[in-house]
Structure 1
Amino acid sequence: MEEKLRFRLATEKDLEQIVSLLADDLLGSQRERYEIPLPTSYIKAFEAITADPNNELVVADNGNEEVIGVLQITFTPYLTHQGGWRATIEGVRTSNSVRGKGVGSELIKFAIQRAKERGCHLVQLTTDKQRQDALRFYERLGFQATHEGMKLKL
């Protein structure tokens, strides 16, 4: 793991590096548009995320402002579980240069700690069924596939 690894809320100056990470794999390259300047859709999404107190866009950096990991946490109140809160982790990516070095594990542990700090009773996430390595990664961190997830593309 990186010695100078730190976690912080993303800033707009991180956005190009974040989109680059999101686009840097087989599935991401099919749905993301990493180009400079970035499409305005990313800027608008970033502004909406950072304006919402129930969303956190978290980056891992190496101490030199280089973004080497990213995830988004959304905190959601529910009536179920006696009005409990859940945290949903989305958009998890680490740089190829640090894969297998513990950055992803530490990033997820950070997100779990943030969920605890916010009083959440559950942390949930989804991973594409094509991402078998990611599935094993999350299972090693204690996540269990207890539900069947479904999506409807619009």
Structure 2
Amino acid sequence: MSINVSRIALHALREEVLSRECNRRQQVVGVLNEFYAAAFRHLYQVWRREKKTISDSGYVLKEVELYAKKYPKQLLRGLDSYLQERRAVIGHRTSPDTLSHSNRSPGDRESRASSQTGREGKEMNFTGVCDLPPEMEGEARLI
């Protein structure tokens, strides 16, 4: 699915569907990244709401692509409002685990993610690619 959503986002960029938002923000990568996340979220919503199966995936992707190209602003607004709601929910929690989540090391996150499943069964925290420390193999050189 990820490759298909990437294709949808890149086609939207090439077809200048995102031009207005890119110009408004004066950036392309950030808008493209947000659009990708918004399209993926929309895919998830359609999938869950309509109880789709893998045999429906082609139709669902086509529907998501058409919606994303026709209503990019609404797609981005939907993601933004979803993220604001999530931040508000996380901000109201009193658990020190969730409030200090950005200050932990990757090892702490991994141990918490494995222990979290048994405790609540709903929420899991994974280490993101940007959270990992860079690893240098061999000698770093400019080519």
Give TM-score scaled by structure 1 length: 0.24
Q: Which structure would you say has the larger RCO, counting Cα contacts within 8 Å and 6 or more residues apart?
A: 1
Bigger helix share = 2
TM-score, normalization: structure 2? 0.26
